[in-house]
Structure 1
Amino acid sequence: MISGRIACRSIAVLLAGATLLPLGSASADTADPVPPASGPEAELAPGIPLSLLPLWQLDTPDQALPPKVYKPSEEEEAVEPQDAPEGADDLVEYVDPMDSFGDVTCSEETGQRQREVERWLKRPVDGEQSKGDCQAIRAFQKKHRIRPAIGYAGHVTWATMQLVTASKNPNAAKKCPVREYRVACVDLDRQMAWVQQGRKVVYGPVHIRSGRAGYDTRKGWHRVYWRHKNHVSSLYNSPMPYSQFFSGGQAFHGIYGNIFTGVGSMGCVNLRVEDARRLWVLLKKNDRVYVWGRRPAA
């Protein structure tokens, strides 16, 4: 029955460019995932679906079943994954098409994150775009290379403000447990991750993209149980650079697209390729991962 559902959904992918949703289940609370079921479904792994959509529009499917664990060959491990395509990591704000294609200097549109951005910039918090708001937002966008710098208070601008705030002490709210050993902290509320050892931050914070509604990145304590630098999805034959699995089919890994797309992943913690590369060097098998919060609505 599972294979039948997968076949039907494969047709849906070809017809609509939609994401194929593999099936399966695994405990969300165990430190180590349960052994995979037998059969071809046990070898499914998250990946990027083949479609006619541009890279930045692609989602990253995931499933609860862990991938088939094996020891990569020395030749395989010696190959470094490719860098992301030029421009894939750019901070691009998704704006109204009239603002995007027109000769707009200062957007009059009220952004999805208008109130939060106004508060951060110490502007009057009324949730309505004004000329003063736009000028202040544009100045921030230009400083942090957010395009188009037209003063629109969108998700990318707000995410960048949160990262700037967190840069000195991402665990100021003490939501990630402090331990003597390394802990990879995943903050779903702010869509960022970092690694700390004791009270010292040794990596990040960096932007992430976590699971969308219905396919949430599982919260609580986990453990890195399998790492594969050049993992490829057996379902889509698609690359998952610097994969570090910590809960069933959910893993840290880089994506060859923009992590600021409105839709979340299907459970994995997506990173820019360069951030995934740096995390790969730092984390080791059995390092602990702690996840909390909730991904904000798109």
Structure 2
Amino acid sequence: MRRRRHRRDRRHSSTFRALAGTLALTAALSVTTGCKEMRIRVEDGSGKGAGHAAPAPSASLPATPAAPSSHAPAPKPPKPTHAAPKPVLAPGDRSGRVRELQARLRQLKHFDRNPTGYYGSVTAAAVTAFQRAQGLPRTGSADAATLSALRVRTQPPTRDELYPPTTRPVAAPDPRCLTGRVICISKKSDTLAWMVDGKVVSAMDVRFGSQYTPTREGAFGITFKSRHHVSTIYDTPMPYAMFFSGGQAIHYSSDFAARGYSGASHGCVNVRDKKKIAALFQQVKPGTKVVIYR
């Protein structure tokens, strides 16, 4: 009886120990699991796992602009511009004041023509040359300072200086032109002077033939005159023609009047002033001497 009870007690004691061990293991596992959950909650702060951490800021976001430096240099003010002197006389003008300007420039050898009263490219170039020599702004137009400097360095032009017979100065006459009535023509100055006993009665601009049809040089005489002549070779008008050597003549040329020295004749002596050649035509007679020289 005791042995049975003793064996039963031993079984109960063994069962109790086994149950106690199981309870102890369960408690230990519960405590370990609870610490792990606690650690997750503490690290994330939201109850979510570590794999759900907040994304890092994107690298493509614009950077905050830097504040402007207080030490940046201030912009430089624009340089002052000096307006060109206001012209008193300028290209395109036509007046007596332009004629005086040209005469004064000619006294200083800046203008190699006779005064015309027209302010063209030749006058502008002469004014520029004078301004350069005086250290003035080279504008080509005559302002007050330019005119003042010119008056100080020149004399008031005479009437002959202001109103010469041609636009080009007449060359010194050939010795053959100093006696009698002579049509004296200079290839050097491109001028014709009607001279009586060594004095110039009238003068005019002329042009000559080209290198292929040159105007002859030497002493000749007028052979015949033709008021309304037309060339039989070129079929062109030759008003107030005065022939002196074969088919070469002194005559008015509308082409010379229009184009100036950009053209040439076929050997004749062209005149561009119709009134002057008409007056000369009335005074010249057959046999009148003609001298053409360089």
TM-score (norm 2): 0.45
Larger radius of gyration: 2
With the length of structure 1 as denominator, give the TM-score of the two structures: 0.44
